[in-house]
Amino acid sequence: MRRARHAGRTFAWQMLICICFLAIWQWGYALHDRLPWLVPDLLDPYFISRPSDIFEHFLILSCLKSKLGVFNGWFNGEFARCMARSENNLWIATAVTLKNTFFGFVTGVSSGFAAGLVLGRSDKLSAIFQPFITAVNSIPRIALAPIIVLAFGIGDTSKVVTSWIVVVFLVFFNTFEGARSIDEGFINAARLLGASEWQITRTVVIPSTMAWVFASLTPAISFALIGVIVGEFIGAERGIGRLIIESEARAEASGMMVAVVVLMLVGVALSALIWRLQAYLLRWQQHNLAE
């Protein structure tokens, strides 16, 4: 009961903050002439657009409305024609960016995880690779993006590679730490119950590093998205990053903002997905908190 009321109040506050934020964004600049000391120049819609313009632009970029402001009918084929005409409409851009993010994330997580496990469980290998890993890790990986685009072209591959390279280290280090810190007691218990090396890896090493791996996955998904967007900034034909660059070239703040809002929504959705997966796979950790 009390908790429910508490949650309700929290939600009310959150709504209030959202509404204030949007209202200031939408109408705040109108006060600029009268109260110049209160309203900074930055609130100029020329720079940051305004919610109504962003929504309008969203409809145009997603082919729901024509450039003249008329709604595209679903049945007269106007929507389909627009989709076919603009090769980087919002739908395609989002799909392309999502796809590249997904591949960057999956390859980054799986290779980082595998490398972390192998090195984390082997003192010999980790001693050999230690200096190289430290060296490579000190490079700001995003600085490699132009080289990657140069090497892999402006197609999707370069975006996946950029994304992979920012994700892989993050996951690697967490998995490595996790594998190092496994309680030897668990491994001994498993071994004395007759577990083979592979069974130990599968039933002890992997489950006990899971908490560490998951700690890296939420940042990893953001990093994957960042990698793809930066790759698209540098050179791409499609994608949300490309959309931002195009709008910037036309000094169209609302177009950029549409892209940013879409990225935010994508980021939130992907994080939520990870949370659900984590809540399921690490349910043993939540257990004593439930009740």
Residues that bind other proteins (CB under 8 A): 183, 185-186, 188-195, 199, 203-204, 207-208, 210, 282, 284-285, 287-288
Residue with the two structure tokens 């110049």: 36
Q: Please, which residue, 215 or 282, has the CB nearer to other proteins?
A: 282
Q: Tokens standing for 14? A: 């959150």
Q: How far is the CB of 194 from other proteins (least distance, A)?
A: 5
The CA distance from 153 to 198, in Å, is: 40
The CA distance from 198 to 117, in Å, is: 12
Residues β-bridged to residue 11 = none
Q: Please, which residue, 86 or 203, has the CB nearer to other proteins?
A: 203
Q: Please, which residue, 190 or 225, has the CB nearer to other proteins?
A: 190
Q: How far is the CB of 203 from other proteins (least distance, A)?
A: 7
Residue with the two structure tokens 């705040």: 28
Rounded to the nearest 10 degrees, the angle between the axes of helix 156-180 and helix 206-234 is 150
Q: How far is the CB of 86 from other proteins (least distance, A)?
A: 50
Q: How far is the CB of 121 from other proteins (least distance, A)?
A: 15
Q: Tokens standing for 169? A: 């280290």
Are 32 and 48 in contact by the 8 Å Cβ rule? The answer is no
Q: Please, which residue, 88 or 208, has the CB nearer to other proteins?
A: 208
Q: Please, which residue, 24 or 189, has the CB nearer to other proteins?
A: 189
State phi, psi for 196 to the nearest 5 degrees: -80, 170
Are 172 and 164 in contact by the 8 Å Cβ rule? The answer is no
Q: How far is the CB of 218 from other proteins (least distance, A)?
A: 20
Give the three-state DSSP class for 65: strand
Q: How far is the CB of 211 from other proteins (least distance, A)?
A: 9
